[in-house]
């Protein structure tokens, strides 16, 4: 079994879900008492979030590169950046280490195509919804992306940073996000990507009739395939 390196803490709420998902999937697939071989490098989100807010992507890249290099030195044979927003600099991280980075956007694209879809809505942090890295990479697979309106983006970003990363889960926020998935479907989305790893802690498949693509779960599943590959 290969050792996976998790770059976590962004936020730790979703990093804990990555840990749970990966270990659960390894046990299900490998059987017995198996669990995952993991290295976790957890970043203090209070030092990371201001870099995002200021758009200091060079500093974001350097922080994630440092974390990835620490994980590789500890034995990681593949890296997961446990945040969608951080994938804006995933190529820079991949270029600084000699083990693969499992890119969440590629994983999502494969899941979307497997459903036969070519148009999806995208929910995430303000950075993920306004920056082009996610839609541009999806477009390489022939997938078109629809994002919420500016006002809707403010609401989603507030739920993420004022509630979810702090471990607060509100029923009214769940209902609002479910309604937004319906609105995106009305604009042409065949499914909606939960492009923030915290969102799937709140919004589940049974909360909306619109097909959802939970990025942390998909990312974890792809990483387990890497770990268990011969």
Which residues are the active-site residues?
A: 83, 196
Residue 184, phi-psi category: left (phi > 0), alpha (psi -120 to 50), beta (remainder): alpha
pLDDT tens digits for range 12-52: 999 999 999 999 999 999 999 999 999 999 999 999 999 99
With a cut of 90, say whether residue 230 has pLDDT above it: no
What domains appear along the chain, each with residue ranges and CATH number? Answer: 4-103+218-228 (3.40.50.1860), 105-214 (3.40.50.1860)
pTM, entire model: 0.93
* Residue in the structure block whose two tokens are 């909306």: 208
CA triplet 155, 158, 164: central angle to 5 degrees? 120
Mean predicted lDDT score pLDDT of the chain: 96
∠ CA(157), CA(160), CA(164), 5° rounding?
A: 170
Per-residue pLDDT of 163-196, as tens digits, reads 999 999 999 999 999 999 999 999 999 999 999 9
Q: What stretches of 115-210 show up as alpha helix (H) in DSSP? A: 126-130, 133-139, 150-162, 171-186, 199-202
């Amino acid at each position: 079994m290969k050792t996976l390196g998790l770059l976590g803490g962004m936020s730790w709420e979703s990093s804990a879900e990555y840990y749970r998902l990966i270990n659960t999937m390894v046990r299900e697939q490998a059987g017995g008492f198996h669990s995952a071989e993991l290295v976790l490098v957890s970043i203090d989100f209070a030092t990371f979030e201001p870099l995002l807010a200021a758009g200091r992507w060079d500093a974001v890249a350097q922080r994630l590169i440092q974390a990835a290099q620490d994980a590789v030195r500890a034995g990681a044979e593949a890296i997961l950046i446990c945040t969608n927003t951080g994938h804006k600099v995933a190529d820079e991280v991949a270029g600084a280490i000699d083990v693969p980075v499992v890119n969440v956007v590629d994983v999502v694209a494969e899941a979307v195509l497997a459903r036969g879809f070519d148009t999806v809505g995208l929910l995430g942090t303000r950075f993920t919804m306004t920056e082009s890295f996610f839609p541009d990479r999806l477009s390489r697979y022939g997938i078109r992306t629809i994002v919420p309106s500016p006002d809707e983006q403010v609401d989603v970003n507030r739920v993420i940073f004022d509630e979810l990363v702090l471990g607060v889960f509100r029923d009214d926020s769940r209902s609002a996000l479910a309604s937004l998935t319906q609105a995106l479907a009305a604009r042409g989305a065949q499914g909606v990507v939960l492009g923030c790893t915290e969102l799937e802690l709140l919004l589940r498949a049974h909360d909306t009739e619109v097909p959802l693509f939970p990025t942390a779960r998909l990312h974890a599943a792809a990483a387990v395939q890497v770990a268990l590959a011969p």
